[in-house]
Each structure stands twice: as structure tokens, then as C-alpha cells.
């Protein structure tokens, strides 16, 4: 498993479907994705092997990584990383599994 990701049912829903199609084509069963439908999930967080967390304003897009002005910070304190991982797992467990982009219907 390369990774897990959660997105929410917000104004980026349709663009998320297109991104998911690309991810599933490239990575297939190496990723798990879930839809968080209990509110807008705006947080951007990357947990690396449960030893570090990167959190900030950036989306994982080319513009965010190359030209936008973004902020991010890294956390390596084991106790803080554990708390972030617990928060992620709570959201993960509340979210709906997405087995393929076809599970999601574009919105008007």
C-alpha cells in the first residue's frame, strides 16, 4: 500500500474525480481513497510512515509545489505524530470507501 487519502464533498468534488481517475490509472490497487461526507474537509496533511507529519495550506498540485505561495510545517515529535495519525484514522473510519472513480458521479 503506497498510501491512503480522504477528500470531502465540497466545491472541489468534480475536479477530485478527475484526479482520482489519474491516480487509479497510475497506481491501481496501491492506494485507498475515501469520501468524507460529514462536512467539508479542508485540511491538507501528509503522514509519512507514522514518523513525520507535513501540514499546511498546499494542495498536492503542480502549482502548489512550483509557483503558489504556500505554508507548511513538519512535525517529527512522536507524540504529536501519533495524535495526527489518530485524527486521520478517526476521519478515515467515518468516511466512505471509494473503490474506483466510477463510484462517484459528477455533480452539476
Residues marked active site are found at 42, 44, 49
Q: 100: left (phi > 0), else alpha (psi -120 to 50), else beta?
A: beta
- What gap in Å lies between CA 30 and CA 68, rounded to an integer? 29
Q: Which helix (H) or strand (E) element contains residue 73? A: strand 72-75
CA-CA distances (angstroms) from residue 88 to 14, 22, 36, 37, 94? Answer: 23, 23, 11, 15, 10
Amino acid at each position: 500500500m503506497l498510501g491512503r487519502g480522504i477528500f470531502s464533498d465540497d466545491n472541489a468534488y468534480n475536479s477530485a474525480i478527475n484526479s482520482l481517475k489519474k491516480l487509479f490509472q497510475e497506481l491501481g490497487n496501491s492506494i485507498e481513497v475515501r469520501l468524507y461526507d460529514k462536512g467539508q474537509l479542508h485540511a491538507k496533511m501528509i503522514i509519512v510512515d507514522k514518523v513525520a507529519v507535513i501540514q499546511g495550506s498546499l494542495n498536492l498540485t503542480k502549482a502548489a509545489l512550483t509557483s503558489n505561495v504556500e505554508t507548511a510545517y513538519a512535525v517529527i515529535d512522536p507524540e504529536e505524530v501519533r495524535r495526527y495519525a489518530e485524527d486521520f484514522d478517526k476521519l478515515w473510519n467515518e468516511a466512505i470507501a471509494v473503490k474506483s472513480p466510477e463510484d462517484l458521479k459528477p455533480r452539476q
